[in-house]
Amino acid sequence: MSGRALITGITGQDGSYLAELLLEEGWSVFGLVRGPGLGCAAHLAGRIEVLEGDLRSAPTLRAAVERARPDHVYNLAAQTCVRTSFRDPVGTAEVTGAGAIRLIEAVRELAPRARLYQASSSEMFGSTPGPQNSGSPFAPRSPYGAAKLQAHWHVTTCRECYGMWAVSGIQFNHESPRRSEAFVSRKVTRAAARIQLGLQAQLELGDLGARRDWSHAQDAVRAMRLMMAQEEPRDLVVGSGETHSVEELVASAFGALDLDWRRHVVQDPALLRPVEPVHLVADPSEAGDRLGFSPRYSFQDLVEEMVAADLAREASLQDAPAAVAGA
């Protein structure tokens, strides 16, 4: 199936991969963009239609829905950083929670037959012991998780009260070379590359023991597409089903470059989260059984791809091709 798809958050990691996937499938892709650039989707300029808009502004969202006349809407835009959400809970609620509701309401009124995907998050489970599935209780431990839950419940409300075709994909952490440097995975792979190139000596990290269920963002967007192709709208969790600690991430990233991470990594208590989720790990069986979904990338594949991309990027920035060749 192909048609017209509206993606919010197209300048971000997932939005840009999703746009690529939809274009490959023959969709007309409309991307909501709030700033001057296309970010991670810059290479798609000319192949997507850019619609100016902001989740904080209902009129811009209504105009975008009217222009796109979408068959599918993917709401991937959000204030996505958990640490930022502790510093700015109001701004996070405004964008990640209320912003999603604004968009959903615009779709409900102006494109009532469209299918809608909401990017929900494993952070909504917070203190619920893992493994989590779509029936696990929600107990967020961050303003980000709480804001995501508000949006999530609105999707449920619209589905159950108004019969809207709307699903929430409760995704666990997913990364890629397009991940922002605000996130630990990219911070680690970039630092490993810079240390290898002699551009940096040290990497400061918070809790090395924190564990996450990490997947590749390209697997995550594949799961989004499969969820939108379900016969009936059903929320599902999507994740790898295994966790790795930040220390394992560091060891893999530095190991890929034959670096001894213990010589470079220092712990900085200022980088600790005020409170960690208890143990977030997906029960992958639901998405496996219902969608036939299984990840294509392993944790090691993911880390190696990110390190290689950062090494190439940092080397090209420094005009140091010799360092890449020697890696």
Given the rule CB under 6 A, which residues bind ligand NAP? 8-9, 11-15, 32, 34-35, 39, 54-56, 76-80, 95, 99, 119, 121, 171, 173-174, 180
Nearest to ligand NAP by Cβ — which residue?
12
Q: Smaller CB distance to ligand NAP: residue 10 or 158? A: 10
CB 153 within 8 A of CB 168: no
DSSP state of 41: G
What the block records as the tokens of 228 is 């939108």
- The nearest distance, CB 262 to ligand NAP, in angstroms, is 27
- The nearest distance, CB 124 to ligand NAP, in angstroms, is 9
Q: Smaller CB distance to ligand NAP: residue 177 or 233? A: 177
Q: Which of 122, 144, 215, 297 is catalytic?
A: 144
DSSP state of 125: T
Q: Smaller CB distance to ligand NAP: residue 122 or 252? A: 122
With residue 19 as reference, give the H or E element that holds it.
helix 13-24
- The nearest distance, CB 122 to ligand NAP, in angstroms, is 6
d(CA 289, CA 272): 37
CB 207 within 8 A of CB 272: yes
Is 144 one of the annotated active-site residues of the chain? yes
Closest CA to 6 of 34, 36, 27: 27
Q: Smaller CB distance to ligand NAP: residue 134 or 180? A: 180
Q: Smaller CB distance to ligand NAP: residue 78 or 166? A: 78
Which bin fits 114, alpha (ψ -120 to 50), beta or left (φ > 0)?
A: beta
Question: Which residues does residue 31 pair with via DSSP β-bridges, in sequence order?
Answer: 7, 50
d(CA 176, CA 199): 22
Closest CA to 128 of 100, 184, 170: 170
Integer-rounded Cα radius of gyration of the chain? 20
Is 123 one of the annotated active-site residues of the chain? yes
Q: What is the dihedral of CA 161, 165, 170, 173, to 10 degrees?
A: -140
Q: Smaller CB distance to ligand NAP: residue 32 or 287? A: 32
Q: Which of 120, 122, 123, 276 is catalytic?
A: 123
- The nearest distance, CB 266 to ligand NAP, in angstroms, is 25
- The nearest distance, CB 151 to ligand NAP, in angstroms, is 9
d(CA 99, CA 194): 37
Q: Smaller CB distance to ligand NAP: residue 95 or 203? A: 95
322 CB-contact burial (10 Å; exposed 0-12 / middle 13-18 / buried 19+): exposed
d(CA 185, CA 252): 11
Q: Which of 121, 176, 215, 252 is catalytic?
A: 121
d(CA 293, CA 288): 5
- The nearest distance, CB 99 to ligand NAP, in angstroms, is 6
- The nearest distance, CB 291 to ligand NAP, in angstroms, is 17
d(CA 256, CA 13): 23
- Residues marked as catalytic: 121, 123, 144
